[in-house]
Structure 1
């Protein structure tokens, strides 16, 4: 997984493992979980379940990537604050696309198709 987590115009790597996100701070080495961006960002049990399929993209159009997951045909997209705020009024809460695009078993893909 790759994304522009910091806002400096450069993508960094990330891993989604059993419901936990590990996002590199841009130096391409493991610095441990801690104060981002001085250390890597670890989202432990805060956005996604172990069986979810991870996705990353710029959902808000601000040039910075946010995380998301795809579960049984539903998209759960973070509003950029790297925590679960519940489905609601985006961008104040997270964006949930319930059975609107995709079916269970599909592989999620994000991109800027019209740009």
Structure 2
């Protein structure tokens, strides 16, 4: 099972085993990780599951689709390179070791 590290804005880390097939957002939600609100439940209709992906992971992830790009415009302080919506990141074995950091707040 892939391990994903979620880092709260204040620095607290949560290392979670997330089953393949779930999304990074579902892994956070199912394990009570604070900082990922996921108001739309994973429909890519908000930006409340926004994170900053660790730089070494940016090129390893699938490209953002146009819908995710549009929703990131509404995120708090998006970073053109590192910002992703966790509802759009499907967990596979290739994501083992992924590190994501939550922004100061979700909007």
Same fold (TM over 0.5): no
Structure having the higher helix fraction is: 2
Larger radius of gyration: 1
Structure having the higher strand fraction is: 1
Which one has more relative contact order, counting CA pairs under 8 Å at least 6 apart?
2
TM-score by length of 2: 0.30
TM-score by length of 1: 0.29
